[in-house]
């Protein structure tokens, strides 16, 4: 029977060569084996009304894509979002270990297509208690999703953003790669949640990476996390929540919200991430939930272990960002923001001035930085390092020393930015903290 079902999909593939009008597509593959697949779906309201595919490579790839089309046609969008490689393999009557990669690729392509369709075309009826939760494939977001699901009457949908794809920095070395998306989807399905993928690689490069490179070249110290959360990731997910009829968006950030809608530091001061959300609009904060705000990191890992989540001991996401694996200097050098000058963030040749360095940024980085700067109303540079609480007399002595340094710097010609005193550099660069004191 299994062979008959596989043969039926292989010899008479459902939807091959069909691309529905107004459909959204997702692609996967390109591995050395040569398997490629593109799934196209058309969503109206909350249903997938039509689907088709195109595939090349081994017969298993064609059969798996046909199985996907069969599984999704006419079904509810959120039900289709529960389909993974296991369901694709089951539709084919089972797959051997050597052929299971075809089900993985077909599932990847399907979820990219569903994510695009959900983002632009879906209109799912709102339901009280429905929450969209952001899952990165790490322990924090997995526990946040688990805690949301445990609430009485809650319905949780999961979304993972694909922000970066780099052959030198992918798989387990990145928190936002195609491999991480697959891990997050498996976790969501394990918890019984529908899962969608949003491909924001273009937005992430234009809104975060290019400005980050440009500001490094200009001698600044940008904070990609504030910019990413404040203007790229969370805005896109809140828009998706509207499409899916979800009133709230939950994330694994360590932060809290006061009853009057202000951001507040997390209980775990060592893990507090409230500053990463400083660029969010108040209306966005009002729709956010942070289930980990009252927990410490050891407690989060303990919850994950008790639930049997395989990511219970996974490294923190900040250790797996798009810089991880290669390191900051290697990333900057590979993308044209450094020359062979260790320790210098300039792109200029040796001996060039800082002003010259700022003008040698690549045209794409400069254009992206200019466009992004015009679209944002406040700076998102890295916030000052937190210091332990000091007594009033200590703070007074520290302010006196700072004023003395500023007076000395004003008494001479304006120095280069790299030697300007810290307080002068910081003045006007760092936005006011939006977190309330605990």
Say which of 33, 80, 228, 406 is annotated catalytic: 228
Cα 126 to Cα 118, 195, 245, 283: the distances in Å are 14, 17, 4, 19
**Residue that terminates a domain, selected from 58, 90, 120:** 120
- H helices within 199-233, ranges in order? 201-204, 210-217, 224-228
Q: Is 222 domain-assigned?
A: yes
Q: Can you give the pLDDT at residue 173? A: 44
Q: Residue 224 gets which letter from DSSP? A: H
Q: What is the CATH number of the domain that holds 290?
A: 3.40.50.620
Predicted confidence (pLDDT) at residue 351 exceeds the cutoff of 80: no
> Are 110 and 155 within one domain?
no
Say which of 157, 321, 406, 421 is annotated catalytic: 321
> Are 19 and 156 within one domain?
no
> Are 205 and 306 within one domain?
yes
> Are 38 and 93 within one domain?
yes
Residue 337 half-sphere exposure, CB side, CA atoms within 13 Å? Answer: 23
Q: Is 364 domain-assigned?
A: no
Q: Is 429 domain-assigned?
A: no
Q: Is 368 domain-assigned?
A: no
297-325, pLDDT tens digit by residue?
Answer: 999 999 999 999 999 988 876 555 545 44
> Are 169 and 257 within one domain?
yes
E strand or H helix that includes residue 183: helix 178-190
> Are 78 and 49 within one domain?
yes
CB environment 41-58: b (16+ within 10 A), e (fewer): bbbeebbbbbbbbbbebb
> Are 96 and 141 within one domain?
no
Structural domain span for residue 92: 2-120
What's the whole-number average pLDDT of the chain?
A: 76
Dist CA 160 CA 182 (whole Å): 9
Q: Can you give the pLDDT at residue 50? A: 98
**Residue that terminates a domain, selected from 120, 150, 181:** 120
Dist CA 211 CA 207 (whole Å): 7
Active site residue 228: yes
374-407, pLDDT tens digit by residue?
Answer: 333 333 332 333 444 444 444 455 554 444 444 4
Q: Which residue has the higher pLDDT, 314 or 10?
A: 10
Q: Is 372 domain-assigned?
A: no
Chain-centre distance for alpha carbon 218: 26
**Residue that terminates a domain, selected from 320, 343, 358:** 320
414-430, pLDDT tens digit by residue?
Answer: 433 333 333 333 333 33
Q: What is the CATH number of the domain that holds 80?
A: 3.90.1010.10
Q: Is 241 domain-assigned?
A: yes
> Are 159 and 295 within one domain?
yes
**69: exposed, middle or buried (C-beta count within 10 Å: 0-12, 13-18, 19+)?**
buried
Q: Is 233 domain-assigned?
A: yes
> Are 162 and 297 within one domain?
yes
Chain-centre distance for alpha carbon 75: 28
Active site residue 157: no
> Are 169 and 297 within one domain?
yes
Q: Is 402 domain-assigned?
A: no
228-255, pLDDT tens digit by residue?
Answer: 776 778 888 999 999 999 999 999 999 9
> Are 230 and 139 within one domain?
yes
Domain count, the chain: 2
Instruction: Output the CA torsion 94→18→38→205 (10° steps).
Output: -150
> Are 113 and 148 within one domain?
no
């Amino acid at each position: 029977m299994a062979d008959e079902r596989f043969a039926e999909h292989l010899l008479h593939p459902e939807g091959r060569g069909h691309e529905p009008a107004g459909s959204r597509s997702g692609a996967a593959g390109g591995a050395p084996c040569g398997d490629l697949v593109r799934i196209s779906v058309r969503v109206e309201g909350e249903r997938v009304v039509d689907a088709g595919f195109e595939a090349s490579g081994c017969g298993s790839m064609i059969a798996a894509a046909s199985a996907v089309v069969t599984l999704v046609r006419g079904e509810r969008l959120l039900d289709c979002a529960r389909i993974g490689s296991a369901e694709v393999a089951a539709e084919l009557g089972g797959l051997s270990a050597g052929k299971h990669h075809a089900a993985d690729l077909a599932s990847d392509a399907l979820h990219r297509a569903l994510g695009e369709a959900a983002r632009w075309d879906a209109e799912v009826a709102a339901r009280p208690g429905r929450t969209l939760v952001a899952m990165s494939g790490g322990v924090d977001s997995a526990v946040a999703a688990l805690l949301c699901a445990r609430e009485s009457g809650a319905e949780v949908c999961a979304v993972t953003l694909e922000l970066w794809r780099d052959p030198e920095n992918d798989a387990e070395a990145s928190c936002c790669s195609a491999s991480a998306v697959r891990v997050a989807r498996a976790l969501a399905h394990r918890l019984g949640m529908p899962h969608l993928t949003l491909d924001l690689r273009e937005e992430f490069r234009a809104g975060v990476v290019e400005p980050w490179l440009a500001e490094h070249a200009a001698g600044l110290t940008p904070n990609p996390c504030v910019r990413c959360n404040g203007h790229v990731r969370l805005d896109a997910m809140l828009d998706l929540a509207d499409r899916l009829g979800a009133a709230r968006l939950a994330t694994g950030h360590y932060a809290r919200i006061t009853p009057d809608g202000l951001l507040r530091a997390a209980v775990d001061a060592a893990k507090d991430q409230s500053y990463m959300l400083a660029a969010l609009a108040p209306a966005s904060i009002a729709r956010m939930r942070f289930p980990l705000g009252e927990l410490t990191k050891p407690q989060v890992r303990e919850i994950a272990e008790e639930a049997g989540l395989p990511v219970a001991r996974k490294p923190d996401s900040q250790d797996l960002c798009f810089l991880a694996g290669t390191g900051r200097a290697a990333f900057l050098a590979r993308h044209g923001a450094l020359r062979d000058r260790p320790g210098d963030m300039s792109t200029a040749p040796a001996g060039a001035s800082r002003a010259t360095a700022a003008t040698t940024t690549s045209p794409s980085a400069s254009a992206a930085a200019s466009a992004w700067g015009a679209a944002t109303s406040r700076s998102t540079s890295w916030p000052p390092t937190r210091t332990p609480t000091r007594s009033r007399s200590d703070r007074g002595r520290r302010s006196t020393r700072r004023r003395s340094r500023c007076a000395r710097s004003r008494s001479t010609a304006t120095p280069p930015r790299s030697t300007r005193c810290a307080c002068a550099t910081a003045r006007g660069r760092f936005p006011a903290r939006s977190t309330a004191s605990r």
